[in-house]
Amino acid sequence: MDLKAIAGELVAGCREGREAANLTRLYAPGAVSIEAADMGNGREAVGLDAIRGKHDWWADAMEVLESEVTGPMLHGDDRFAVIFRMKAREKASGEIRDMQEVGVYTVADGKITREEFFY
């Protein structure tokens, strides 16, 4: 897949709830995911298992009430960005949060090798 196809599939998967399936399909085995802040598990997750763990943590901790995905916005031949907006409820406390972040993705050899989140 080329950059445009990978970016389009990532966005479609986020909109349609196929994020877990897209990890296997779109990400390189050694992909790196970097958060803007440590949410209790460190800022950096290395490898698909670690990135899956981040997704599992999110699903266990949060309930998404509303979400919007904007993009992708392509940059050159190896990067793209996506804007995520959501309203989510923290399951433990019931606190509702409005969130917004930008994800910047790097692609090499037909797979996502790096994702960085800004919020």
Mean pLDDT on 85-114: 98
Residue 63 has a pLDDT of 97
Of 36-40, 69-73, 93-97, least confident by mean pLDDT is 36-40
Q: Which residue has the tokens 């969130």?
A: 99
Total number of domains constituting the chain: 1
pLDDT tens by residue, 5-64: 999 999 999 999 999 999 999 999 999 999 999 877 789 999 999 999 999 999 999 999
Q: Which element (helix H / strand E) includes 41?
A: none
Residue 26 has a pLDDT of 98
Q: What token pair was written down for 71? A: 């993009």
d(CA 119, CA 107): 21
| Residue 75 domain boundaries | 3-118
Residue 40 has a pLDDT of 79
d(CA 10, CA 102): 14
CATH number of the domain bearing residue 45: 3.10.450.50
**Helix or strand or coil: residue 81?**
strand
Q: What token pair was written down for 46? A: 């290395």
